[in-house]
A and B are shown apart, each in its own frame.
Chain A
């Protein structure tokens, strides 16, 4: 069976559902979004990830129609929507605060958007029942929002925004208020719903793990600009900058100067330490400033010197035990700390290495990522 991979962004003929073209948004003299260009495709689960204040909500609000871009255009299915008021856009938003109507019951909250379309009564009722079933809220249908729990409110908000079957659903930190377990359950529920309904989702989150779990693609933002837009695994394994590498997951960054050596580079990074080799498609001049990003789980730790490339010697100064994995902090002779992660596959309380052990760490030349900024 041949399964086609869902990756419309690699297809030059695919038409995007949303197209930001050189969008700039200023509040007074403050620039919240700068010259942003981005395509999002139908049926995508697109995550906006970035630190607080980087402009994620502003982008959502421009899509929903609550803010106008100062410059540039936003297209939905090929049409410029900048001038279309929010109530005439086929876009629904799930608000960060849920924004449930406190004077209406759960059922009436969900029915609210449908009733505005002046559909026949029984059609509305059927759709509301379907939504209640989807988010498992039938027993609570006639309660008011203050009579249900936080997690249930969040599901009402989701059902309400899905009820009109919008082309595009915007989720602004939908799971922010939930505890970890409920959060994870809901993430899978969201992906399930997205698959069932075929709606395009754009989700804002602070939480990198959440973005990695749910998204087809992630946009990492910083100060109103996109740093990288790619699939979760590309973002993790091939970050294009030091910022992205540091934003997602744990990483050790070494700074140095590159020299080309066949299809790889040799990085001289510290006096008295051996140079390190890394494969890269980057085109760097000899002696150019560069950084090496190494993920802890790619680093092996040994009690005896291995005969491979990229071997560094140091001393264990810290051990973080997390149950399934242990993180070792290894200090080199020049003070640099390298983090290495080992899976604890044995149920043995004795650790292979302990504090002040003399150890060697190494990784293969494919595992370190060479960055030029």
Chain B
């Protein structure tokens, strides 16, 4: 084993401190007894209790989860379909235009997307609420899904689909039985991406949310304007915890899959 040189140790420490120190402070202060965020007055979990009794936050959390779930699901379906057509559809009139247009929302300033959606909803006479946020989030996260899925599809061996057709599948069956199971990891990561994008979106949600439905980021943002409370620290700590657990589970399962794949390859070689 090679040792880390002192220089490496210093760079590692500085780099990680830069990334994680702010979060660490936030976590520490969520266990602060005091009402004041900046003054340490002993350990306490009382703010977590407060948080659990705060209806407004809980409502907002529930709205956020529902919005994220529905918008990412719809975005995954639409984004996968768009990616499939753009990668597989061969040449059709306007293909270049379409594929350019699908990526445009990625670089569009969110304020503009939000504003145009707001105008559209007002024009349609839609009451702003969960539905409008879901629609808005679907619109912008769909592009991300289609980027993720189409980058998987371009490396997908086309002859697998041809083999399915050759063996009697209709094109729809070939997609369902062969293409989809194989690109599933990309579709799932597209869904996860859309889900997280929706979870932490503030700008577009504030344009399209109404008084009946507020998402957590909006709630936190408006609460912070009145001053940071330890309650918000507690809420953020919970979110950091959830994300950390998610990342750990994901990396463990990828590692397991890799170890298993290597074992399979070895087994194949032995029986060769």
Contacts and interface: CB of A to CB of B under 8 A. Distances in A.
Interface of A: 64-66, 85-88, 91-93, 95-97, 99, 101-103, 112-113, 116-117, 140, 144, 146-152, 160-161, 164
A150 B173 contact: no
Interface stretch (B41-49, B74-82, B155-163): B155-163
Contacts of B267: 147
B264 to A, nearest CB: 5
B167 A92 contact: yes
Nearest to A102: B182
Contact of A150 (B170, B177, B181, B272): B272
A113 B159 CA distance: 15
28 contacts: A66-B162, A85-B165, A86-B166, A92-B166, A93-B163, A95-B159, A95-B162, A97-B157, A97-B159, A99-B162, A101-B182, A102-B182, A112-B164, A112-B167, A113-B168, A116-B169, A140-B271, A146-B261, A146-B264, A146-B265, A148-B268, A149-B268, A149-B272, A151-B272, A152-B272, A160-B167, A161-B166, A164-B168
A64 B264 CA distance: 33
Contacts of B177: 112
Nearest to B269: A149
Interface string B241-272: 00000000000000000000100110111011
A151 B269 CA distance: 11
A82 B246 CA distance: 53
Interface of B: 157, 159-160, 162-170, 173, 177-178, 181-182, 261, 264-265, 267-269, 271-272
Nearest to B271: A149
Nearest to A151: B272
Contacts of A149: 268-269, 271-272
Contacts of A65: 165-166
Contacts of B170: 87
A154 to B, nearest CB: 12
A96 B165 CA distance: 16
Contacts of A150: 272
A95 B271 CA distance: 23
Instruction: Give the interface centre of B159, B264, B267, B272 by most chain A CB atoms within 10 Å.
Output: B159
A105 B257 CA distance: 17
A152 B168 CA distance: 24
Contact of A87 (B160, B168, B181): B168
B169 to A, nearest CB: 6
A101 B164 CA distance: 9
A224 B162 CA distance: 23
A117 B168 contact: yes
Nearest to B159: A99
Given A66-B162, A87-B166, A148-B271, A103 B264 contact: no
Given A103-B182, A149-B268, A151-B272, 6 more contacts: A66-B162, A66-B165, A92-B166, A103-B181, A116-B168, A164-B167
A148 B270 CA distance: 9
A96 B160 CA distance: 11
Contacts of B169: 87, 116
A355 B166 CA distance: 58
Contacts of A113: 167-168
Contacts of B159: 95-97, 99
A87 B271 contact: no
A76 B162 CA distance: 20
A144 B264 contact: yes
